[in-house]
Amino acid sequence: MPRWVSVQDLPVAGRRVLVRVDFNVPLQDSRVTDDTRLRAVLPTIRYLQEQRARIILCSHLGRPGGKVVERERLRPVAQHLSHLLGQTVHYAEDCIGPKAHEAVSALAPGEVLLLENLRFHPGEEKNDPAFAQALASLAEVFVNDAFGASHRAHASIVGVPRYLPSGAGFLLQKELRALGMVLTAPQRPLGLLMGGAKVGDKIQVLMNLLPKVDVLLIGGGMAATFLKAQGIEVGKSLLEQDLIPFARQVLQQTSQRGVSLSLPVDVVVATALEPGAPHWVVPVSAIPSEGRIVDIGRETIQAFVSHLTRCKTVLWNGPMGVFEIPAFAQGTRAMAEALAHLTATQGLVSVVGGGSTAEAVVQLGLADKLSHVSTGGGASLEFLEGKDLPGVSALWSKEELARGRRD
């Protein structure tokens, strides 16, 4: 049982409710180009509207470094959210101070306000108590629905709960349950599909999950280090020389534990990481000295899919190639399509660990065909590493809520 309370446990009816969301979304020409994170928090917003709460949303956008950066204002996000909700989302030109208080005072029950970028103030990332208290003064209750930012000990994440009754929104709960299921109670066999550019980004995840998995598939740029650990030359591929001993350790442990391990048997290599670069498929034993791995090959795709078919739960973290370039996206597309098919036809529990992998499945139009696609990159990695997330630890327990205070 979780020690934190849900938004449904909080006294939100008719109250001013501050909701930390993760609206760090891509903008182009002042327009939102991917609204996945906005759509993800709609259930929490609509629940609060049903409770006639006055809803105050706060988020960061980009890395403005504690100063106002015009291109990182949240007004375009408020406009897009208005479209999704079918009603005006009001916008405050600051997140604390007179402008914020004035905008909050004007809210009617059920109305929604988006505060300006939290990171325009240095106190946000410094977890300054004065900034947290100023933010908390806008509301009577706090809800964290920003899973993607909950690994940060920032003022809006861990500071505000010191001053307000605080609980988890529906998105945060969904993320914790989906990822937590992989760690504690997966349907077996459990498969781990790993990719991405670097082994170094995934060391802790591998160490935490290796004792739990039945099938381990490694693709992407990180496969080069594992291939090198087997004595295979990888040309100009990104190679983490200092992590070759770790890769050997993983190979040894999978053998000792009886884990089914699959590395690429063929790869797409290219002379450069750019569109139009010459590229071709070779067996891993014949990677040319001038080539670099940019995707997995057809035989590897077939082998990986065969392994996935055996699984009842699969966690996928990291694309299989440089998916931003269409010619190098075939492996990533094949994995997404296979997981979507198995989810629909065999009841596979398919969980995507956020970041670039989530971006890829959204671009492919397959996110809604998978069991869960995380909205948090760094947060999902830290959670899968077995770490406590500061934003979750900061939420109130039912005992604290019953007392009406924190000790």
Catalytic residues: 37, 198, 355, 378
CA pair distance 354, 317, nearest whole angstrom:
7
Residue with tokens 């109670």: 185
Tell me the CB-side half-sphere exposure of residue 254, using CA atoms within 13 A: 22
Nearest CA among 34, 36, 56, 37 for reference residue 45: 56
Instruction: Please give the single-letter amino acid code of residue 397.
Output: S
Q: Map residue 370 onto helix, strand or coil.
A: coil
CA-CA-CA-CA torsion sign (213, 217, 221, 223): positive
CA pair distance 152, 14, nearest whole angstrom:
30
CA pair distance 147, 186, nearest whole angstrom:
21
279-283 and 266-270 beta bridge pairing: antiparallel
CA pair distance 82, 243, nearest whole angstrom:
48
- The conformational region for residue 235 under phi > 0 = left, psi -120 to 50 = alpha, else beta, is left
Residues 6 or more apart whose Cβ sits within 8 Å of residue 206: 194, 250
The pair of three-digit structure tokens given for residue 400, joined into one six-digit string: 């604290």
Q: In this structure, which long-range contacts are made by residues 331-334, counting pairs with CB atoms below 8 Å and at least 24 apart in sequence?
A: 331/219, 331/268, 331/295, 331/296, 331/297, 331/300, 331/301, 332/195, 332/295, 332/360, 332/364, 333/364, 334/301, 334/304, 334/305
Beta-strand (E) ranges in 16-122?
Answer: 16-20, 27-28, 31-32, 54-58, 89-91, 112-114
CA pair distance 55, 16, nearest whole angstrom:
6
Most distant CA pair in the chain, distance: 68
Q: Map residue 133 onto helix, strand or coil.
A: helix
Which alpha helices (H) appear in 75-234, and where do they start and end? 75-85, 97-105, 122-125, 129-136, 170-184, 203-209, 223-229
